[in-house]
């Protein structure tokens, strides 16, 4: 079964390169991951530090929070659309019921 690589693990790898000064290959060897993975995570981390929210799971706590809030906004917008449709439906039903009673 493949191991699950968490954002915390990725941050540890990034820390080796950016804070502790490891070369990319040395960090990859130390953490038993591919060189391209380390390079991608460091690049993603740097972008996140500049405020760019990634498509992948965020590495920084700030960007993780942004992703969670964006998910909540999307869910609320979907719920709001559903409520608008339901309101329109019930308004039409009430209107039809009132017309039937008047006839």
The CATH code of the domain that includes 83 is: 1.10.10
Please indicate, yes or no, if residue 83 is contained in any of the structural domains.
Answer: yes
Q: Work out the mean pLDDT of the chain and round it to a whole number.
A: 92
* Structural domain range at position 83: 7-102
- Retrieve residue 84's tokens: 């608008």
Q: 102: pLDDT confidence band, cut at 50, 70 and 90?
A: low
The pTM is what?
0.70
Q: What's the pLDDT score for residue 18?
A: 97
Please indicate, yes or no, if residue 62 is contained in any of the structural domains.
Answer: yes
Report the b/e string of 11-42 with b at 16+ CB within 10 A: bebbebbeeeebebeebbeebebeeebbeebb
Question: What does the alpha-carbon distance between residue 98 and residue 48 come to, in Å, rounded to a whole number?
Answer: 57
Interval 13-67: pLDDT, tens: 999 999 999 999 999 999 999 999 999 999 999 999 999 988 889 999 999 999 9
- Retrieve residue 82's tokens: 């559903």
């Amino acid at each position: 079964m493949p191991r699950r690589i968490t954002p915390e693990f990725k941050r540890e790898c990034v820390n080796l390169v950016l804070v502790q000064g490891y070369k990319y290959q040395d960090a990859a060897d130390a953490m038993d991951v591919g060189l391209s993975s380390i390079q991608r995570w460091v690049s993603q981390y740097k972008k996140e530090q500049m405020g760019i929210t990634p498509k992948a799971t965020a590495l920084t706590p700030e960007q993780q929070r942004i992703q969670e809030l964006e998910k909540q906004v999307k869910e609320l917008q979907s719920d709001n659309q559903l409520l608008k449709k339901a309101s329109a439906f019930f308004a039409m039903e009430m209107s039809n019921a009132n017309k039937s009673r008047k006839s």
